[in-house]
Structures are given as C-alpha cells and as structure tokens.
Chain A
C-alpha cells in the first residue's frame, strides 16, 4: 500500500527556476522523508523532517511539514539539469517500514 501521494506527477522547468512538489499522507507519522531516484538507479535519501518540526533546510532543499493538513512540500531552489530525477516522499511510522508515494518526475532543461 502507498501512504503518500505526490503532486504534481510530473514537472518541467528551466534551469535556475525553483521546483516545488507536494506530498499528502493519510495517517499519523513519526517522520517524513524525501528521496531522489535517477532513472534506473536506487533511491538516495535527501532529507528527513520529524513530526514535531515544521521546516528544514539542506543546501538548496527546503522541506515543510504541516501535520494538521497531513502534507509536506519539497522546494528545490535554483534548479540544475542534474536535478532531473524522480522524487518520492516516504512516511515513517513507529514499528513499520517506510511507505513511499508514487513520486514526482522532475525535468530540468538547460
């Protein structure tokens, strides 16, 4: 089963623009994580935000979490062609393995 649902499914932008993708989930969580996947490769962990946090930054990444709305957003600033990938949110709950959403495919053109 998939708990998170990303929006939009696909996003195309120009280099230098910001990219925003959203994730909604259904049940209470301990944390929410974002992963990146390049075509045909494994997933790479980007950032983890805990349920008692509202915002977190890592380099060009900014993640927000609104537990009242059960939603999160990932902002990538000043996008580069190398950011082209699929991005997945994953929810962490006590006692269970991470559950992933269906992902957002980001295409950054130069």
Chain B
C-alpha cells in the first residue's frame, strides 16, 4: 500500500478565492471520506463516497463546498469564495470493501488551508 495521498500539503489563499484539494485513496478502497479539523479539536465529518456515489453530507458542508469522485478513484474537494473560518486541516481517509461504514479508516497527512 502506498497510503492515502493528499495534495497539496499546505495552501495559503486570500479570502474570496476558490481552492481545490485532491485525495488519492489506497487503491481498491471503495469508500472515501473527507473530514475537517481545526486546532485543538477532533476531526469533523464532512462527506463520504462509496465508489463514485456521494452517500452522506454533513450540514457543515455549506453550499460553498463541493466534493466529487468522478471515477470512483481519486476525489476533489473544492471550496468556493473562501472565508477565514475555512482555515483548517482537511483530512481524507479511505476504507476497503467488505467493511461497513464506521469501521477502521486509513488517513492521509491532510491539507492545511490558511485563508488570509
């Protein structure tokens, strides 16, 4: 396994700009999750995919956020019109087929977003 890969590792942007993050899960993992983590807090669930289908979205995922997983492999998370409150670590995780939702997750190293 090469592990879950996230790109970029760090992103600094100005308020109002759009940003896009990419996540490559462990190959053959069919479930992919996005979490957001702010300083001193635990990860908060944003959304998850099973293959290319987006099955659950948190109410934290405002209209400015959109996630895709077009071919059931990598995923992108886009934030439009960024706000300072979007500054956080965005974590991607995946899990293999045969495991139910709420089972062990494999996390990437995250993308640290700073909105100035």
Interface stretch (choices B42-50, B63-71, B72-80): B42-50
Tally B residues with Cβ within 8 Å of A: 26
Tally A residues with Cβ within 8 Å of B: 29
Report chain B residues within 8 Å CB of A93.
102
Whole-angstrom distance between the alpha carbons of A33 and B108 in the complex? 17
Whole-angstrom distance between the alpha carbons of A103 and B38 in the complex? 12
Q: Could you tell me if B109 and A42 are in contact, using CB atoms closer than 8 angstroms? A: yes
Min C-beta distance of A40 to chain B, whole Å:
7
Q: Could you tell me if A97 and B48 are in contact, using CB atoms closer than 8 angstroms? A: yes
Contact string against B for A residues 66-110, beta-carbon threshold 8 Å, 1 for contact and 0 otherwise:
000000000000000000000010111111111111110000000
Report chain B residues within 8 Å CB of A97.
33, 45, 48, 56, 101-102
Report chain B residues within 8 Å CB of A102.
40-42
Residue B103, interface by CB 8 Å:
yes
Known: A42-B109, A42-B110. Is A92-B44 also a contact (CB below 8 A)?
no
Q: Give the residue of A33, A91, A96 whose beta carbon is less than 8 angstroms from that of B104.
A: A33
Residue B113, interface by CB 8 Å:
no
A19-49 residues at the B interface, CB under 8 angstroms: 30-31, 33, 35, 40-45, 48
Report chain A residues within 8 Å CB of B40.
102
Residue B26, interface by CB 8 Å:
no
Residue A2, interface by CB 8 Å:
yes
Q: Give the residue of B105, B108, B109, B110 whose beta carbon is less than 8 angstroms from that of A98.
A: B105
Residue B112, interface by CB 8 Å:
yes
Q: Give the residue of B43, B102, B109 whose beta carbon is less than 8 angstroms from that of A88.
A: B43
Known: A41-B110, A42-B91, A96-B56. Is A103-B103 also a contact (CB below 8 A)?
no
Q: Could you tell me if B42 and A45 are in contact, using CB atoms closer than 8 angstroms? A: no
Report chain A residues within 8 Å CB of B102.
30-31, 91-98
Binding site for B on A (CB under 8 A): 1-2, 4, 30-31, 33, 35, 40-45, 48, 88, 90-103
Binding site for A on B (CB under 8 A): 4, 33, 35, 40-45, 48, 56, 89, 91, 93, 100-110, 112
Q: List 29 A-B contacts (CB under 8 A).
A: A2-B41, A2-B44, A31-B102, A33-B104, A40-B89, A41-B109, A41-B110, A42-B4, A42-B108, A42-B110, A43-B43, A43-B107, A44-B107, A45-B106, A92-B101, A92-B102, A95-B102, A96-B56, A96-B102, A97-B101, A99-B45, A100-B35, A100-B42, A100-B43, A100-B44, A101-B42, A102-B40, A102-B41, A103-B41
